[in-house]
Chain A
Amino acid sequence: MSVGASLLNSMSVNPESHGKALVIGGGFGAYASIEALLETGFEVTYMNCPTDGAFVRETGESSNLPNSFDEDKIRVLEDLGEPILSKTPDGFKLVSKQSKDELFTCVVVAPDVPLVAVPPKMSPYAKQLTVSDRMDKPGNYVFLCDFEQPSDPALVLAAARMALENQLSEGSSVLLLKNIPLPKLETETFFDELRRSGVLIIKYYDDDITLAESATETGSTLSIRHVVGNDDRLELDFDELFYVGGPDPAGIPKWARDYFEKERNNNSFLRHAGIHQNSYRSWNSGIFVVGPAAGTYDSTMIVHQARLAAAHAKQLFRDSDGVDIKINSSCARCLNCYRICPHGAISLSSDGSQPLIAPISSLCRSCGICVSTCPNSAIELTIPQKSGQSDTLQLQSIGDHEQAIIFVCRESAGILASNLNVPDNIKFIEVLCAGSVSENMIWEALTTGARGVIVAGCHSGACASKNGTDLASARIKAAVQTGIFENKSIFVKHIAVSANEPARFQKLLDELIDN
């Protein structure tokens, strides 16, 4: 259940938020999301952040991709003031000028631009190309891409289209770039067409490009050192120099940018959920990221993302597949579980005089991490599925003194365990996540007489529960540092292994067993 997710399980619960989606964004990504959500049967509310999204332009004119939406079918929120978006057990709550405490099943973030602008670093005589630019009259144009940092591929394609148009109407175009972007099957033939039509495509290798001193606003000469190591410079005369950077995120209002800021990775893209949840899901369950904010995707990929976001959204707040979390009275409200739950399945309800822990069973992926961090054993997690975690029974069944116990995560090492060649006195115990192996479980394993405990989890970053494997590693490191395992006959260790590393896992175990 933790890898991927079922798409269209029956929905019930929470009639208030049921089937309502909030789309924040603008341009093609937002239109594709709105269309997909409507197709899937959602009621859509749209918060417009006007952006000059590159994709409508990139796709050209023959495309049948959505480039607008039917205003009758959706509700558009405009004057928002400073809206506040928060997550509650019933869904996402939006408080703004136009809506009071409105609830949504999911939020789709589709600003259609990367979250950070590629700043123009060229001379002021260069004009920054935007997707809304159209060719006025044919002329002698130079398009400079990838200068100092890579340009947005969609915008490079927009520039290439403009160059072709100019060339075909008797102008002359030069395209300067470092890498030709080929996001689609047809792009290579499109660039062939460009070459055939006479557009000069020049690849340059370093950023040694200068505008001649005679530069004026109306025309100028650009000088490039275009052959590596050759001191000959290529001089290009032009009427206009277009600098191709990236689409401008200026249209995203400040509150929204601040909101997205928390979810940004170091490449300025919105963080997504890692390999287990594909490219459109944020770690914050219920928030989906569609389009260029999640990476540089081509238009077909953005339609994929939008469709999948809609399908996964429909699955949220569904019946919980039999997974049940209960908090019993020994809860001390330490909020450990609330902070650590990687799936956003624990929230706080503020109904009473003091905050109460309110689990959302339908979002639970039963990784067991909350149980392992609760100091008071106040969380009761019921999983109807086959492979049980923690299994004290299994532990008690071991009594021999020469054994090592290996806790294996069912997503990685657990898959390999049955095919490994290990001595009989090594016992594998499958757990739902390495992060669910608490200090108590390790102690319990050691009290059965085992001389070694190994926790084998996924690689950092590949955990289906965000950072479960990191948690396991940190726990064991901390335990070893306290010195309690100093007795030389006992070892406790965390190893990271993936489901397709049989050779490496075997090697690691052999080494450990030999020692």
Chain B
Amino acid sequence: MTDQPITIIGGGIAGLSVAKILNENGISCVIVERTADPGGHARQWACKAGTACRQCFSCLAEQTLRDVKDSPKTLILAHQELDLAQVNPSNLRRPPLKSLSSGQTTLIDSSGLVLALGFEPYDPGDKVLLQHGRLPNVRSLAELEADLRNEDWGSLASGSEIAFLQCVGSREASSGANYCSQYCCGAALRSALKLSDKLNNAEIVIFYIDLQLRNGRLQGLFDEALRAGIKFIQGVPGEILMNDDGKLEVIVEENGRNTRRQFERIILSTGQRPPRELADYAEAFLLPLNEHGFIAPLSDSDTSRTAVPGLYLAGACSGPKDIQMTIDHAHQTASAILQDIEHGVKL
């Protein structure tokens, strides 16, 4: 065992889950969080339960944060980040932390370092034709989550027509994201079901390229969505217009012909991108990036460790993940750390 803490960079659900498991096993942690309050993206999300839980896992962000805050074994440093300019890759035992308020740098003794840097949501503003940011009723998935969380239905009422456009910013080589973001099919299915619970007779259409019903949970949700009358149309419109009635309009290929369809609100299922500064982190630690810009782990079968002993990855900075996959991955990282501590491996 070691007296020096494990330093976790990033206080999202990945970092918190690593800290929680380590705390329960008596290992102390320091969580370095850039914002005022940890929890990351997952904590901004809404509960999607209808009459029963739909297993979106977002409530675990609150629960894990509570557990970590309650634990005397974890110190959360808010408004701080790793001072990349001063990281010495040959000696990581005292990583430098920079306070974002005072600008001061302090060194913190660590026996291990976990990068839990998360992801960056794709900015749909890049796609001018989708009008996000210009038309108020074109919302991103993250904005929808905030609305659901606050029970803010805006102009939506029973009978509203709502569309989801999948794979916005995912699966496109042209913008450098030739991969599936892994979480949006599930997120759209759950949000659509929640909307259909809350709004009577809402007409919901999900435009998709390929549905990724990754595991048993999603298969069940898809069946539920079909029963709830949610429509699935293959092919994603590339342009959103506003017609004279103030409604949104897209061109849909139906029965071999192009027809126009009107919607009250359109949700863009925005993908996950590597955080902008991830390349700088990789460079500072001499870690390789994969072709999509995420940090490459040690191997396919060991996605928690890196080539540097004592330096670990957790969560979406090693590839896009939904909340469940992130938690699984973070727990695996925690168990790798515990094994390494037992074998005396550290920075």
A-to-B contact residues, CB < 8 Å: 1, 3-9, 32, 39-40, 59, 63-66, 150, 153, 179-183, 185-189, 192, 203, 205, 227-230, 265-267, 269, 272, 274-276, 278-280, 294-297, 299-301, 303-305, 307-308, 311, 386, 411-412, 415, 458-462, 496, 498-504, 507
Within 8 A of A (CB), among B61-102: 61-64, 66-67, 70
Judge whether A499 and B215 touch: CB under 8 Å: no
Residues of B within 8 A of A187 (CB): 179-180
B158 part of interface (Cβ distance < 8 Å) = no
7 other A-B residue contacts (CB within 8 Å) besides A181-B212, A189-B178, A296-B213: A3-B63, A8-B25, A9-B24, A188-B178, A307-B336, A462-B49, A503-B150
Judge whether A4 and B17 touch: CB under 8 Å: yes
State in angstroms the CA–CA spacing of A381 and B64 once bound together: 25
B60 part of interface (Cβ distance < 8 Å) = yes
Residues of B within 8 A of A307 (CB): 332, 335-336
Residues of A within 8 A of B303 (CB): 300, 303-304
Residues of B within 8 A of A153 (CB): 214
Judge whether B24 and A6 touch: CB under 8 Å: yes
Residues of B within 8 A of A507 (CB): 151
A-B residue pairs in contact (CB < 8 Å), sample of 11: A4-B17, A6-B21, A6-B24, A63-B300, A189-B178, A228-B256, A230-B256, A266-B220, A303-B301, A303-B302, A305-B328
B219 part of interface (Cβ distance < 8 Å) = yes
Judge whether B210 and A182 touch: CB under 8 Å: yes
Partner of B214, one of A66, A297, A504: A297
State in angstroms the CA–CA spacing of A300 and B171 once bound together: 20
Residues of B within 8 A of A3 (CB): 20, 60, 63-64, 67
Residues of B within 8 A of A182 (CB): 171, 179-180, 210, 212
Closest to A63 in B: B300
Judge whether A150 and B213 touch: CB under 8 Å: yes
Closest to A268 in B: B216
State in angstroms the CA–CA spacing of A59 and B149 once bound together: 40
| A187-B180, A295-B217 known; A301 vs B210 contact (CB < 8 Å) | no
Residues of B within 8 A of A5 (CB): 24
State in angstroms the CA–CA spacing of A428 and B70 once bound together: 19
B-to-A contact residues, CB < 8 Å: 17, 20-21, 24-25, 43, 45-47, 49, 51-53, 55, 57-64, 66-67, 70, 149-151, 171, 173, 178-180, 209-217, 219-220, 223, 234, 253-257, 290-292, 294, 299-303, 319-320, 324-325, 327-329, 331-332, 334-336, 338-339, 342
Partner of A180, one of B210, B319, B331: B210
State in angstroms the CA–CA spacing of A150 and B222 once bound together: 12
Judge whether A499 and B210 touch: CB under 8 Å: no
State in angstroms the CA–CA spacing of A137 and B47 once bound together: 53
Judge whether A8 and B178 touch: CB under 8 Å: no
Q: Closest approach, in angstroms, between the C-beta of B213 and any C-beta of chain A?
A: 7
Q: Closest approach, in angstroms, between the C-beta of B97 and any C-beta of chain A?
A: 27
Judge whether B216 and A296 touch: CB under 8 Å: yes
Judge whether B299 and A415 touch: CB under 8 Å: no
Judge whether B339 and A39 touch: CB under 8 Å: yes
Judge whether B210 and A66 touch: CB under 8 Å: no
The SS class assigned to the A binding surface is loop
Judge whether A275 and B55 touch: CB under 8 Å: yes
Judge whether A459 and B52 touch: CB under 8 Å: yes
State in angstroms the CA–CA spacing of A197 and B291 once bound together: 21
Residues of A within 8 A of B299 (CB): 64
Residues of B within 8 A of A503 (CB): 149-151
| A185-B319, A188-B180, A462-B53 known; A269 vs B62 contact (CB < 8 Å) | no
Judge whether B150 and A500 touch: CB under 8 Å: no
Closest to A461 in B: B53
Judge whether B332 and A275 touch: CB under 8 Å: no
- Which of A39, A307, A411 is packed against the most chain B CB atoms within 10 Å? A307
Residues of A within 8 A of B335 (CB): 7-8, 307-308, 311
Q: Closest approach, in angstroms, between the C-beta of A246 and any C-beta of chain B?
A: 13
Partner of B328, one of A181, A279, A501: A279
Closest to A386 in B: B70
State in angstroms the CA–CA spacing of A7 and B256 once bound together: 56
Q: Closest approach, in angstroms, between the C-beta of B335 and any C-beta of chain A?
A: 4
Partner of A7, one of B62, B324, B329, B334: B334
Partner of B216, one of A40, A59, A295: A295
Residues of A within 8 A of B217 (CB): 295
Residues of A within 8 A of B334 (CB): 7
State in angstroms the CA–CA spacing of A269 and B219 once bound together: 10
Q: Closest approach, in angstroms, between the C-beta of B238 and any C-beta of chain A?
A: 18
Judge whether B24 and A7 touch: CB under 8 Å: yes
State in angstroms the CA–CA spacing of A65 and B301 once bound together: 6
Closest to B43 in A: A500
Judge whether A229 and B215 touch: CB under 8 Å: no
Closest to B47 in A: A498
Partner of B338, one of A8, A186, A305, A504: A8
- Which of B62, B256, B342 is packed against the most chain A CB atoms within 10 Å? B62
State in angstroms the CA–CA spacing of A496 and B49 once bound together: 10
| A8-B338, A65-B300, A500-B47 known; A183 vs B213 contact (CB < 8 Å) | no
Q: Closest approach, in angstroms, between the C-beta of B151 and any C-beta of chain A?
A: 4
Residues of B within 8 A of A9 (CB): 24-25
Judge whether B45 and A229 touch: CB under 8 Å: no
Closest to A305 in B: B328
Residues of A within 8 A of B210 (CB): 179-182
State in angstroms the CA–CA spacing of A63 and B218 once bound together: 27
Q: Closest approach, in angstroms, between the C-beta of B226 and any C-beta of chain A?
A: 13
Q: Closest approach, in angstroms, between the C-beta of B154 and any C-beta of chain A?
A: 14
| A228-B256, A299-B300 known; A4 vs B213 contact (CB < 8 Å) | no
Residues of B within 8 A of A39 (CB): 339
Judge whether A179 and B212 touch: CB under 8 Å: yes
